Structure 1
Amino acid sequence: MALYTGFVVFSVLAGLATGANCPNYSSYSMQAHAPLSNGSYRLGYMRPDPACRTFNLSDVESTIVSMASSIFDPDLYRLFLNAFPNTLDTAIRWKGVAADNADEELTFVITGDIDAMWLRDSANQMQSYRSLLKASSDGNSLASLYRGVINLQARYLLESPYCNSFQPPVESGISPATNGAAADDTVTPPYNTAQVFECKYELDSLAAFLEVSADYFQATGDTGFFGRFKWLDALQAVLDTAMVMKTPTYSPNGTVLDSPYKFTRMTTRSTETLANDGLGSPVAGNTGLIRSAFRPSDDSTLLQLFIPANMMFSHYLEQTAKIVDALKSKARSGLGTQMHTFAADVRSAILRHGVVADPNAISRYGSRSVYAYEVDGFGSSIIMDDANIPSLLSAPFFGFTTVNDPIYRSTRAAILSGGSNSQGAAQYNTNPYYMHGPVISAVGGPHQGPGMAWPMASIVRIMTTDDDNEIVGQLKSIISSTDGLGLIHESISTFNQSKWTRQWFSWANGLFGQMILDLNIRKPKLLQRSYQP
């Protein structure tokens, strides 16, 4: 039996609520179910019965059927079949309408094994199906799910814009979940535990609202939706929060400024709280960068000017400004121009303060310039990467740059260095969280610690390269390391595939499906080969 260690402090695990005889997926997904795949890895069939799936979408089912003729390897196809529909199968916890407006759709999406809705996860869970999204007024459509997520995220941001994870809406009738880890948190500004599951301020959470909004608009052209309900108000809350989080630690005369956000937690893990009594590490003024107290892993930043989140925020702010431009008279005068300028300023700040010299880059990559993971504006920087998106590795995936950007290429080489060369000699590893081993080699992070690689990082690696050999190698490692479950885990020991965390991690599963659909367009021949040992 594999070791399940992820998020043990949370007391509520979600099950499927569509029928009395439906199993709790958290338990159901802990063992492989028949029929097993026909390949050497004998992967389980992990979808719930149709009556127990939380949302059925014919376009997804049709896509799964059609991909059977595109994916030749039986184990690769089984993994796609299990992973791609995982959010729809298991994580649409509730769908309905607002109590005060029957036209306002709401969708409560859980991460998987935690009965709460993360802004980041829910936006990315929806993005798994972006290629199938089209305009529709049908309440049982993918477009309706998207609108429900956007509307509910807007409500959350208006309630608590510094928070990252939220409780079920009162209309759902679902009881709030208990977060034992947050019981003793001291947070400024305070929040209501009946509405908020956890209040870690993460810049990428604000960017996630922009992301899901931009994705919906680009796919549907449904401008009118954004002029209704509370979207414009929530957008203003995002802008106001980001702007105030540019506040530095010190004033020009040296006095310590009041921080808009503080967080402390009683914990034995340093990544679960902020230094300096909740202030975090000092940040210089006039950088143009936005602070982030926590990373997308929900781990605290070491230096608060977190570059990947600034990248993501800048890109999606620019994309969302196009929605405001299209709204014209419905939006506040000058708002679109303000957003375009803000996005450009953050991008310039990244290039000015977030590009640093890797002391080992000149001999290995031909360039000393790399994107830093975090900086403080005083001259300190951290060169590393973490598996969670946004990451430096994923910068082309979410649109900030391209795979041909020379600085990105140098950064990518640094992120993925490690292990040994063909002669067996050890190589210098710039990224302390690149995990190397016989089971899987990929970026990990402090959230699960040294030795635990994240398949999510392998997926992102595939989506940000055109190298066939690199793609094939990563696919082989992903297929062979699921411990027979045929699901994408959060993390896996690089030396023992039976030691892993979180088999019910809907975002990672959906991302795998998204990657396979991308390969079917970019590299269809790679799906027609064998991945058997």
Structure 2
Amino acid sequence: MNYILAAGVLSATFASCCFAAEFESKRPPVEERCFTSPSVEQTIAKVKPKIADAELAWMFENCYPNTLDTTVDYEVIDGKPDTFVITGDIDAMWLRDSTAQVWPYMRYVNDDEKLRKLVEGLVRRQTKCVLLDPYANAFYKDMQKESEWASDRPAPIDGVHERKWEIDSLCYAVRLANEYHRLTGDASIFDEDWRRSAKLIVETFKTEQRKNGTPYRFRRSTDRMIDAPLFDGLGRPIKPVGLIASAFRPSDDSTLYPFLIPSNLFAVQSLRQLEAIFRGELDDEAFADECAGLADEVQAAIEGYAIVEHLDFGKIYAYEVDGFGNRAHWDDANVPSLMSLAYLGVHKKDDPLYLRTRKFLLSDSNPYYFRGKAAEGQASPHSGHERIWPMGIILRAMTSTSDEEIVECLRMLRATHAETGFMHEAFNKDNPADYTRDWFAWANTLFGELIVLIDDERPHLLQTSFD
């Protein structure tokens, strides 16, 4: 069976009739794809033939373009690009997911004008979302659409899908704009609306240091205890020490202790990026100084309250703290997470603090590291006591410096997609056919990013055959 590129050019065929029959493409027909990037198609055509394992090659071709194939709504509004990216099987756009979904394609923005406009359009759409409600995590394009969470209190306003306060949501908006500008040099995105949104982000971070309390509450009628914070939607008590409180994790679960450390580290990175933009591009020294001062304060608080002595692993990062000295030692297989700090660029892969923390995360001392008949890997309170997250396995591979470890991650990913050719949110550690989310574009595209990264840095690993 042949695969069709955007320009109608045939890509590499399957190596044999048997291969073709067993591994038929799961991509939508060309005419049904939401968006097509010539650069992404060229990468698929280039990388796929290098993958010796037929099943892994098939998974790569299915997964890498999944965001573009299935989730993108691109148009021009008021003369400017506008891009709305749903997460997959939920018809809403998360600030976090939408940035992460297009991130693996950022490398092409200077060679692919269509893709550049798509990313520019997402920056502009995210700016609108932040200005609409900086506490919201997910949004609708249709301002008249009623949220399925309309019974939440306070109820989400028009255009908001859900109002779970997560530090990382705002960090992802900064991450995307910063990287787009770094790669393209296009400062047109830093218009008046973007500058207002950036200042609102910093204002929200400061408010959620909770030195003077917080206006934020989130209540939901639910049978899931982690779907809303305790104490009438406020969360557990914290001692204001300079850290930023996050009511929810990137998994959309409420935090145990509101000072979520991976998200605070992400916030420090975002504040440094904002400082550089406002100092170097926008000539706003006062606000640049404000960003730098807040970054310094949060970093000092992390060093004082979140780098702690573990009984077996020495000084490592806690996952959550409360400022009183209480802390939780685990991780959530998402981004930001403690494992993902090297992926995000917060730490280098060989940093001793990161390595000690990573060693803990991959040990039986981590209550959310599971070993089963099908695989072993990081999990999440979001999906319970039995399920491993493919995203956790992918991030383990992306942050590894070991060929053997990366190959083992690839083996587990290949063995646990339940013959679907796609990644999922989570799967049962003993039975991959018991999984959650058929259509999770972020996990799919992240898997593709892993394969492209291996092709860049360790191409010999793609010659591994798992049969």
* TM-score grouping bracket, smaller chain normalisation: over 0.9
Deviations 1:291-340 (A, max 9, x none): 000000000000000000011111122123322223234xx442222223
The equivalent of 1:319 in structure 2 is 273
Question: Shift of the alpha carbon at 1:38?
Answer: 5.5
The equivalent of 2:315 in structure 1 is 369
Deviations 1:155-179 (A, max 9, x none): 1111111000001155xxxx62642
Deviations 1:377-436 (A, max 9, x none): 00000000010110000011101111222221111111111xxxxxxxxxxx22111111
1:82 aligns with 2:28: no
The equivalent of 1:176 in structure 2 is 145
Check conservation: 1:135, 1:222, Cα contact below 8 A. Answer: no
The equivalent of 1:211 in structure 2 is 175
Question: Shift of the alpha carbon at 1:45?
Answer: 2.0
Moved over 4 A (4+): 34-44
Question: Shift of the alpha carbon at 1:360?
Answer: 2.6
1:198 aligns with 2:186: no
The equivalent of 1:528 in structure 2 is 463
1:445 aligns with 2:408: no
The equivalent of 2:9 in structure 1 is none
1:357 to 296, 309, 312: 309
2:340 to 394, 397, 401: 394
Deviations 1:244-296 (A, max 9, x none): 00014xxxxxxxx64221111111111101111111001102x2110000000
The equivalent of 1:476 in structure 2 is 411
Distance 2:462 2:84 in 1: 34
RMSD: 2.1
Check conservation: 1:35, 1:45, Cα contact below 8 A. Answer: no
Matched residues, percent identical? 36
Check 1:336–1:473 CA distance in 2 against 1; reply closer, same or farther (3 A cut): same
Question: Shift of the alpha carbon at 1:483?
Answer: 1.0
Check 1:132–1:479 CA distance in 2 against 1; reply closer, same or farther (3 A cut): same
The equivalent of 1:334 in structure 2 is 286
The equivalent of 1:63 in structure 2 is 43
Q: TM-score, normalised by structure 1?
A: 0.82
Distance 2:377 2:18 in 1: 27
Distance 1:36 1:437 in 2: 34
Distance 1:387 1:45 in 2: 28
1:95 aligns with 2:74: yes
Mean CA deviation greater in 391-400 or 212-221: 212-221
Check conservation: 1:167, 1:177, Cα contact below 8 A. Answer: no
Query: What letter matches 2:152 in structure 1?
Result: D
SS in 1 for 2:342: coil
Check 1:103–1:274 CA distance in 2 against 1; reply closer, same or farther (3 A cut): same
Check 1:40–1:275 CA distance in 2 against 1; reply closer, same or farther (3 A cut): farther
Check conservation: 1:84, 1:513, Cα contact below 8 A. Answer: yes
Check conservation: 1:158, 1:234, Cα contact below 8 A. Answer: yes
Q: TM-score, normalised by structure 2?
A: 0.93
Query: What letter matches 1:91 in structure 2?
Result: T
SS in 1 for 2:110: coil
Distance 1:37 1:105 in 2: 43
Check 1:413–1:42 CA distance in 2 against 1; reply closer, same or farther (3 A cut): farther
Distance 1:470 1:388 in 2: 19
Check conservation: 2:320, 2:329, Cα contact below 8 A. Answer: yes
Distance 1:372 1:483 in 2: 34
Query: What letter matches 2:32 in structure 1?
Result: C
Question: Shift of the alpha carbon at 1:472?
Answer: 0.6
**Equivalent residues, number:** 454
Distance 2:18 2:342 in 1: 36
Question: Shift of the alpha carbon at 1:473?
Answer: 0.6
The equivalent of 1:110 in structure 2 is 86
The equivalent of 1:465 in structure 2 is 400
Check conservation: 1:434, 1:443, Cα contact below 8 A. Answer: yes
Check conservation: 2:83, 2:122, Cα contact below 8 A. Answer: yes
SS in 2 for 1:223: coil
Query: What letter matches 1:237 in structure 2?
Result: L
Query: What letter matches 1:359 in structure 2?
Result: L
| Within-5 A mapping of 1:257-272 | 258-272=213-227
The equivalent of 2:208 in structure 1 is 245
The equivalent of 1:150 in structure 2 is 123
**Structure holding more helix per residue:** 2
SS in 1 for 2:316: strand
Query: What letter matches 1:221 in structure 2?
Result: G
Distance 2:258 2:386 in 1: 26
Distance 1:464 1:37 in 2: 37
Distance 1:500 1:76 in 2: 19
Check conservation: 2:207, 2:214, Cα contact below 8 A. Answer: no
Distance 1:283 1:37 in 2: 62
Query: What letter matches 1:144 in structure 2?
Result: K
1:273 aligns with 2:244: no
Mean CA deviation greater in 438-447 or 65-74: 65-74
Distance 1:295 1:243 in 2: 18
Query: What letter matches 1:376 in structure 2?
Result: D
Query: What letter matches 2:263 in structure 1?
Result: A
Question: Shift of the alpha carbon at 1:43?
Answer: 4.5
Query: What letter matches 1:176 in structure 2?
Result: K
Query: What letter matches 1:395 in structure 2?
Result: L
Distance 1:315 1:258 in 2: 25
SS in 1 for 2:74: strand
Distance 2:26 2:279 in 1: 44
1:296 aligns with 2:250: yes
Q: What runs of 5+ residues in structure 1 fail to find an aligned partner? A: 1-33, 249-256, 362-367, 418-428
Distance 2:289 2:22 in 1: 55
Check conservation: 2:156, 2:162, Cα contact below 8 A. Answer: no
1:508 aligns with 2:455: no
Check 1:273–1:36 CA distance in 2 against 1; reply closer, same or farther (3 A cut): farther
Check 1:350–1:37 CA distance in 2 against 1; reply closer, same or farther (3 A cut): farther
